[in-house]
Amino acid sequence: MKRIGDGAATRIGLIALAVILTTLFLVIPLAGIFYQAFAEGMAPFWQNLTSTFTREAIGLTLLIALLTVPVNLIFGIFLAWLVTRFAFPGRRILQTLIDIPFAVSPVVAGLLYLLLYGRTGWLGSLLSEQDVQLMFSWPGMVLVTVFVTCPFVARELIPLMQAQGSAEEEAGVTLGAGGWTLFRRITLPNIRWALVYGVILTNARAIGEFGAVSVVSGSIRGETINLPLQVELLYQDYNTVGAFTSAALLAALAIVTLMIKAVLEWHTHRREKTA
């Protein structure tokens, strides 16, 4: 049987189109980043990479990711467990609410937090009485990053846990297993790959987040500048090489993340095949 697009001409045409578009929109810009970073040679690249501000931006970026990932890991498991294992009124609404951070523009999320936690905000004014300042400091940046990235883990887990159902857990209970044993020996092994996948996505977004953090950061050099903000700052200072050095670092992190993700996908696929 001949299907649509089976002709040699159509096939070659479609493949060529895909290759051209990928090159134009993905490969050239990506290569451009690295080209710009090394435009003036190795020395300025290295200089920029090891400058105090860049090192501090790297440190802050890692700190944000380091705090965000565990929080959303636990939150995501908890939420997915709740939504897939229990029937309660409002379950569907909750499932929709999970997606809000995806649907809302990160800038809006940042503004929202500024409004709530700023010095004159509803919660912020209470906090400032206790001499706690969340906005224009790194804890605020962590807070908005947690908000922006909170759906990733839950989104990965919910469909999987729904498809797997609770029969295995029920079997575990009838055999006398307690809650923690159930989670550790039955639930967790069944969801572990989805969990790792969710963590990778959360991490990637936490490292790269710009919009929300830029609203709450206040751009204090050496204190509230993470890598994405650093890129913008340097670029506005006409330090092209510096900007692209940080950008190259982010791009490299993204590429590494994608590679880990690809390896995992390949691994899961192979597991499913042999299982």
Binding positions for another protein, rule: CB under 8 A: 167-168, 170-178, 181, 185-186, 189-190, 275
Q: Write the CA distances from 190 to 168, 175, 196, 255, integer angstroms.
A: 10, 18, 12, 27
Min separation Cβ 171 and another protein, Å: 4
CA-based nearest residue to 230, from 63, 69, 14, 52: 52
Looking at the Cβ atoms of 190 and 257, the one nearer to another protein is: 190
Minimum distance, C-beta of residue 32 to another protein, in the bound complex (Å) = 45
Structure tokens at 168: 């295995």
Query: Which sign does the torsion angle of CA 179, 160, 202, 79 carry?
Result: negative
**Cα 104 vs. chain centroid, distance in angstroms?**
15
Minimum CB distance to another protein, residue 173 (Å): 5
- 3-class DSSP assignment, residue 24: helix
Do 128 and 177 contact (CB within 8 A), yes or no?
A: no
Instruction: State which residue, 22 or 162, has the beta carbon closest to another protein.
Output: 162
Q: Give dist(CA 130, CA 114) in Å, integer.
A: 18
| Closest approach of another protein to the CB of residue 97, in Å | 23
Instruction: Give the rounded distance of the alpha carbon of 37 from its chain centre.
Output: 24
Q: Would you state the structure tokens that stand for residue 41, as one six-digit string?
A: 């040679």
Nearest distance from residue 40's CB to another protein, in Å?
53
Place of tokens 């004014």: 125
Q: CA–CA distance from 15 to each of 28, 41, 54 (Å)?
A: 18, 36, 41
For residue 269, the minimal CB distance to another protein (Å) is 15
